Structure 1
């Protein structure tokens, strides 16, 4: 994620904190100063926020390490003001695996809360409102216990992208299949999100932000799964383009620019006798023009590291890769030679045709 600070690695997973997290710390410090808190109380409040988000990291590690048991790696865990996001390479399609991965995160918070409950002395009387409003050394760990319980309850809400939504989908998928289960869980998540937004207008504006996050998370999850369902059983050969323009590595920037202007291609495959040697994008061409390199061969400005697909690869895997990397296109090979190209637009057109044929 852009504009994120790398805090290091845990179990091989990169831990990032987004710059907006600084805004949260600034808001906490400002709120304490507005209350007239001294420096010690302000620092204690900041330390509490940092410790809460350490618990969030442990929560996301619960998901990530469980996913690793099923061969699913996690590249990063990113801390945002509204929580943490573990970037799993993919979600498992088997309901049992998704259920275990989804439950693993809140289970970590249950363990943290249980340890604190066993270690801390009983509170006795029911805590007053003041107990929750102002942090002190005496209530520091009690509030941490309370926050972990809230994290468990909040994540239990059956709405994507929260864990409860994934648990609901996994349970429904045992009987209904993944696509239908996702649709039901997504619709419920969007309904709950609208409720969050409505309540937020009257009570807490922060609920509006959470509602928007849940609504669009549920929508995008549903769209992705429905699209993958249309692609299931199809190969890259069926979704690739075979009518495309290529460049030879010896062609000049001027010649490549002429092909750009004469056709509809924005990106080109650079190939030599059927072997892919690189790719060239419109932005690379424009940059070469700005630098007055019109006679330079495209081999000197192209990208030489090229990820390719085979015609027999699954179309769903190509779609997932394109969504993840945001690459403009990939070459498709057959017996090691260039047979076509594939991009997101063409797969989306394939999905539209499949959708029209099934309705």
Structure 2
């Protein structure tokens, strides 16, 4: 994710913190300063926020490591002011596996809360409102226990794509199948999201952000699952384009620019006698023009590392890869030679046609 600081890796997973997280720490420091707190109290409040987000990282690692057990990798975990996001390559399609991956995150918070409960002495009196309003050395760990309980309860809300929504989808999928289960879980998630947004206008603007995240997340997940269902059983050959313009490695940047201006292609496959040797994107081409490399060979400015598909590959796999990488297009090979190209737009058109035919 852009504008994120890399904090390192855990079990091969990058831990990133988005720059907006600094705004949260600044807001906490400013709030404490306005209360008249001294420097140690301000630092303690910031330390509490950092401790909470350490629990969030552990929560996301619970998801990621459980998914890894089923052969699904996680590229990164990103910390945002509204929480953490684990970028799994995909969610398991088997209901039992998705159920365990979804439960693993909140289970980590349950363990943290249980350990704190066992270690901390019992409170002599029932906590008052003042107990929760200010962080002190005496209530630091108690409030951390409370936050972990809240995280468990909050994530249990069946608002897809939150953990509770994924648990609901997995349970429904045992009987209804993944597609129908996703529709139900996503619709429920969007209804709850609208409720969050409505309440947020009157009580807490933070709920508006959460509602928007849930609403669009539910919509996106539902669309992806519906699309994958349309693509099931179809090969890349059926969804690829066979009418396209290529470049040769001996062409110049000027030649490529002329093809860009006179045609509809924005990205080009670079091939020599049917063998793919690279790709050239519009941004690479424009950069070469800015650097006054008009007579430079395409082979000098292209990307030589190319991921390809075979005509026999599953179209759903190509769709998933394109969604994940955001690469403009991939070459498609047959017997090692260029047979076509495939991109997201063409697959979406294939889905649109299939959808129209089934109505």
Please classify the TM superposition score into its range, dividing by the shorter chain length. over 0.9
For 1:65 and 1:264, locate their aligned partners in 2 and report how far apart those are by CA, in whole Å.
Answer: 44
Deviation at 1:256, TM superposition (A): 1.8
Divergent runs of 4+, >4 A: none
2:256 matches 1:268: no
Aligned residue number for residue 157 of structure 2: 157
1:210 counterpart = 2:214: no
Query: In structure 1, what is the equivalent of residue 72 of structure 2?
Result: 72
The alignment partner of 1:121 has SS state of coil
Q: Distance in 1 between matches of 2:17 and 2:290?
A: 36
Aligned residue pairs total 359
Hey, what does 1:288 align to over in structure 2? 288
SS in 2 for 1:151: helix
Structure-to-structure mapping, 1:48-197, within 5 angstroms: 48-197=48-197
In structure 2, the residue matched to 1:312 is 312
Q: TM-score, normalised by structure 2?
A: 0.98
> CA–CA distance in 1 between the matches of 2:228 and 2:250?
39
Q: Deviations over 1:214-256 (max 9, x none)?
A: 1111111111111111111111111000011111111122222
Following superposition, the deviation at residue 292 of structure 1 comes to 2.6
Distance in 1 (alpha carbons) for counterparts of 2:234 and 2:124 = 63
Partner of 2:255: 255
- Local SS of the residue matching 1:16: strand
* TM-score for both structures, normalised by structure 1: 0.98
Distance 2:252 2:138 in 1: 73
How far off is 1:334 after superposition?
0.7
Once residues 220 and 352 of structure 1 are traced to their aligned partners in structure 2, the CA distance between those partners, rounded to angstroms, is: 16
The residue that corresponds to 1:347 in the other structure is 347
Moved more, 330-339 or 278-287: 278-287
Query: RMSD over aligned Cα, in angstroms?
Result: 0.9
Q: Determine helix, strand or coil for the equivalent of 1:317.
A: helix
Structure 2 residue 17 is the aligned partner of structure 1 residue 13 = no
Distance in 1, Cα, partners of 2:34 & 2:295: 64
Gaps of 5+ in 2: none
- How many angstroms does 1:262 deviate by? 1.9
- Following the alignment from structure 1 to structure 2, what is the Cα–Cα distance between the partners of residues 66 and 267? 38
Q: Which residue of 1 aligns with 2:239?
A: 239
C-alpha distance after superposition, 1:305-336 (max 9, x if no partner): 11111111111111111111111100000111
Q: Which runs of 5+ in 1 are unaligned?
A: none
Secondary structure at the aligned position of 2:123 is classed as: coil
Secondary structure of 1:208's aligned partner = helix
